């Protein structure tokens, strides 16, 4: 299999929508009339979850009517937030067909299908016309993409001059060996974590100027500690939504990334770059 086929296979669940709807129904949610907040523990699997999405969206300077491409859109949580909170028109693209199907279904159930739509495709050959977007986002996606130069060139192609590209990526901050499995890869073969220096260099080569960069580790560590404390106090299993998506090794995978962030080996880095 190609790297992209291996990545898509890694994320494919097989009966993900059924599992998600069963989890929501068990929590007392009306699955035929969902609200975005009903999905808070289900549809955002990046570090910092919804709190990180809220801050990220604010930094992107979003407003009603802007066209936004969400690349590697997953189950669609951030895309739905951009549309619901700011009035953006969002087009999501993801490599994994099952994610696309579930993202579209959840969007319909939330009543946002007129603002948000998802399609299957590769970030290295985006299925969009040149210069057709005001914003583009990449949230915890680059770790699975080796050819970041081509990725950033494609993003620059679809953005209008002056458009903004927001990245929220896990990056490597010092030398060291990553512990596997990780949320994005079971082994090194499909993991392509790089440093902020590499991102900055490749963004500049693709025609971007980085206007904002910040390390979100403190937020992620604080929220992880709070979640552990709440689960311990309630005697509950943590991150049921994550376990629904990742399966029986979810705890090990999340522990590995959290330990790596707390130890300074990895960091969730936000960058906002302008297309020049």
For the chain, the structural domain boundaries read 1-273
Mean pLDDT of 98-108: 96
- 218-234: per-residue pLDDT in tens? 999 999 889 888 877 87
Over range 30-41, report the average pLDDT: 89
In this predicted structure, the answer to whether residue 193 has a pLDDT above a threshold of 90 is yes
Spatial distance between the Cα atoms of 155 and 118, rounded to a whole number of angstroms: 17
The pLDDT assigned to 158 comes to 98
Cα angle vertex 77, ends 72, 80, to 5°?
105
> What pLDDT, on a 0 to 100 scale, did the predictor assign at position 229?
87
pLDDT at position 188, please?
95
- Length of the chain measured in residues: 276
The backbone torsions φ and ψ at residue 257, rounded to the nearest 5 degrees and listed phi first, read -75, -40
86/135 Cα distance (integer angstroms): 13
Is the Cβ–Cβ distance between 199 and 141 less than 8 Å? no
Q: What percent of the chain has pLDDT over 70?
A: 97
Q: What is the mean pLDDT of residues 58-66?
A: 97
pLDDT for 140: 97
Pick the residue with more confidence: 186 or 247? Answer: 186
Cα–Cα distance list, 11 to 67, 144, 190, 227 (Å)? 27, 11, 12, 24
DSSP code, position 177: P
Fold of 1-273: Rossmann fold (3.40.50)
pLDDT tier for residue 39 given thresholds of 50, 70 and 90: very high
pLDDT at 135 over 70: yes
Confidence of residue 245 (pLDDT cuts 50, 70, 90): confident
Q: What is the mean pLDDT of residues 103-131?
A: 97
Confidence class of residue 240 from pLDDT cuts 50, 70 and 90? low
Work out the average pLDDT over 33-58: 92
CA–CA distance, 25 with 166 (Å, rounded to integer):
34
pLDDT at 137 over 60: yes
| Residue 124 to residue 249: CA distance in whole angstroms | 29
pLDDT at 13 over 90: no
Statement: residue 235 has pLDDT above 90: no
Half-sphere exposure of 159 (CA within 13 A, CB side): 27
What average pLDDT does range 6-28 have in this prediction?
Answer: 89
Give residue-wise pLDDT tens across range 140-171.
999 999 999 999 999 999 999 999 999 999 99
- Which 8-state DSSP code applies to residue 70? E
Mean pLDDT computed over every residue of the chain: 93
- Tokens 């790297």 correspond to 3
- Residue 192 CA to residue 190 CA, distance in Å, equals 7
pLDDT given at position 48: 94
Sign of CA dihedral 57, 104, 275, 3: positive
């Amino acid at each position: 299999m190609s790297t992209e086929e291996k990545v898509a296979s890694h994320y494919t669940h097989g009966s993900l929508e059924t599992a998600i709807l069963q989890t929501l129904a068990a929590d007392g949610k009306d699955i035929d009339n969902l609200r975005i907040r009903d999905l808070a523990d289900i549809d955002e699997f990046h570090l910092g979850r919804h709190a990180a999405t809220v801050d990220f969206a604010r930094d992107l300077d979003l407003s009603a009517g802007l066209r936004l491409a969400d690349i590697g859109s997953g189950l669609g949580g951030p895309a739905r937030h951009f549309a619901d909170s700011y009035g953006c028109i969002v087009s999501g693209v993801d490599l994994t067909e099952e994610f696309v199907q579930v993202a579209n279904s959840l969007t319909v159930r939330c009543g946002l299908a007129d603002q948000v739509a998802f399609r299957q495709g590769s970030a290295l050959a985006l299925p969009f016309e040149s210069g057709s977007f005001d914003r583009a986002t990449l949230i915890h996606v680059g770790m699975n993409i080796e050819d970041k130069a081509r990725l950033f060139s494609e993003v620059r192609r679809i953005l209008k001059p002056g458009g903004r590209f927001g990245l929220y990526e896990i990056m490597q901050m010092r030398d060291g060996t990553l512990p596997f499995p990780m949320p994005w890869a079971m082994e090194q073969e499909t993991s392509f974590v790089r440093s902020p220096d590499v991102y900055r260099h490749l963004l500049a080569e693709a025609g971007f100027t980085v206007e904002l960069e910040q390390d979100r580790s403190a937020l992620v560590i604080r929220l992880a500690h709070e979640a552990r404390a709440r689960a311990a106090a309630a005697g509950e299993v943590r991150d049921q939504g994550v376990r629904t998506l990742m399966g029986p090794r979810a705890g090990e995978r999340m522990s590995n990334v959290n330990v790596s962030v707390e130890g300074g080996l990895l960091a969730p880095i936000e960058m906002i770059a302008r297309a020049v």
